[in-house]
Structure formats: structure tokens, C-alpha cells
Amino acid sequence: MPSTANYKIVKLVNGVHSVHSVAHRETFHPVIGPVAEAEALYVKQLHLPERLAAHTGEFVIWDVGLGAAANVLTVLRATRASHCPLRIISFDHTLEPLQFALENAATLGYFTDYETPVASFLRDHRAHFTDGNREVTWELYLGDFPSLLHTPHSALPIPHSILFDAFSPATNPTMWTQPLFADLFRQLDPTRPCAMPTYTRSNMIRVSLLLAGFYVGAGHATGEKEETTIAANTLDLLTEPLDHKWLQRVRKSTSAEPMWEPVYRQAHLTKDTLEKLQPHPQFK
């Protein structure tokens, strides 16, 4: 059972409740709330209802940063009309925030209709259930995500979409290094289009994604953020790819050099990094 001292329920300015991590001093989905942020950042931006409605066979989603499961449950609810089987793989190093959130489900509000699958998931690290007209398999990889990616895992199903929602680079730099994104990109299948939104618009993270092999674009606004970031393994999935104007601006940025190691810091692009960045096919 999670210690109640590790997490607390907070009420946001719009009246919605969310979970706050005392240790990280960060609130999950801090401005518009868990459901609204998940809808804007993931559901709508990835066009998940439309993609699942048109998809044949199993659709695979990676949920990187399970947290209190608001992203997963919002995706499930938004795509419930689809018929194709859905497999969700959640990654996190702890189930404490989800356990705490389920204990406060009535206040948080987004667990409605999914309390039983969540309880099974917490108990067995897996849940298989019928949701509307489709079968859902929800699995957990509990542990260190960077180490998992760095070690080849043939058992990991290749994703069609990725929800990337780790704690911020300043508090959790391990999840935002350039080597991590390079390892993540290597897990993808170039013949299977895959997009990955995330809440940050940091130049440091965008450069890291580009150097890892992704195409990178500006993402939808969410609450306090006028712009986020979306990465993909094909340019076709981006509606607003970063261009030469961005490339010129990033040369002057004081926070653009990737974190090559899991230590947070801000720095100008080095000459070597810029030389690696400029030939990216996105800028040709």
C-alpha cells in the first residue's frame, strides 16, 4: 500500500482534482486536469478514435509514465466505439500513484466504469477485459524504463502510438536523455507509422529526439502550454514539423544541448551537436 504521505489530492483552479507527488513536488496534469490534458495531448492529437475505427488487427499503445492512469483510462473511454483489439503496455517504476488514485476514485472522477480492470491490473500487473465491442489487454512493465529499452526485448510489441508522460526533465532527467530516445527509436518498426506526443516544448528535448532519428514537430496546446511537442518515425504524421526557422533559433538557445547523461543542466548547442543536427532529413 502506498504511504499517504507520498501523494495527496489537490484541487486545481478550474475545480478539477488531481494527484500531487510530494517527493517530486509535481502535480499530475497541473492546469486543466487529467482528462482534459489527456484528451488534448494524446487522444485528439493522435487521432486515436479515427485511427482505431479504421484499423485492422491489434492496435498497440505504449504508455510511458503510467502514473495515476489518467492517460490510459481517457484513451479507453474515447476509443470505446472501436472494434479492433487494443493492447496497452504501461511502463513505470512504481504502482503507488495508481493505488492512491484508485483509493480516491470518487474525487478524481475518471475511473468510472474501469474500477474492476484497474483493480486487476494492480493485483496481477495485467488486465484482459471486454470494453464495448473490443477486447483490451493492458500489461505492465514495472522497473527502470531506460534499462529496459537498452536491453533488447523481443517480447515488447511494437507500438502504433506512444503516450510519453514522465516527470519533468528537471526532476527526472533519467527519462529525458538523448540515449534514451535513441534506444526508444530503435524499438520502432519503420514500416509501422508511430507518433509520440509529449507535454514539453523544450529545445533540449526536441534536439534529442531529432538526433535519435525522429521527425519532430510542434504539438497542440494544453492548458498553460501554448505549444507541446510531437515526434514520429515518419514525416507524414506531423502537421507542423520544425523548420529552418526553428533551426536558426535553436542555435541561439541557452538550453538546447541534449542531456547525454541523466544529469539536468542547460547549455548552448555544441558545434559537434549542431553539425549532427543540420543534415537531418527533416531540414532538407
Domains of the chain: 32-283 (3.40.50.150)
Q: What whole-number distance in Å separates Cα of residue 171 and Cα of residue 111?
A: 27
Q: What whole-number distance in Å separates Cα of residue 47 and Cα of residue 259?
A: 31
Closest CA to 166 of 158, 153, 177: 177
Whether the pLDDT of residue 30 is over 90: the answer is: no
Contacts of 176 (CB under 8 A, 6+ apart): 166, 169, 204, 205, 208, 259
Q: What whole-number distance in Å separates Cα of residue 205 and Cα of residue 16?
A: 29
pLDDT 10s digits, 112-153? 999 999 999 999 999 999 999 999 999 999 999 999 998 876
pLDDT 10s digits, 186-221? 999 999 999 999 999 999 999 999 999 999 999 987
Q: Which of the four pLDDT bands, split at 50, 70 and 90, describes residue 234?
A: very high
pTM for the model = 0.94
Could you tell me how many residues make up the chain?
284
Query: Is the separation of the CB atoms in 182 and 205 below 8 Å?
Result: no
Rg from Cα positions in the chain: 18
Given its phi and psi angles, is residue 39 left (phi above 0), alpha (psi -120 to 50 degrees) or beta?
alpha
pLDDT 10s digits, 163-189? 999 989 999 999 999 999 999 999 999
> Distances from the Cα of 24 to the Cαs of 27, 70, 120, 166, 171, in angstroms?
9, 18, 27, 11, 7
Q: Facing residues of 71 across strands?
A: none
Q: What whole-number distance in Å separates Cα of residue 167 and Cα of residue 152?
A: 24
Give the mean pLDDT of 56-62.
Answer: 97
Residue 269 is given by DSSP the state: P
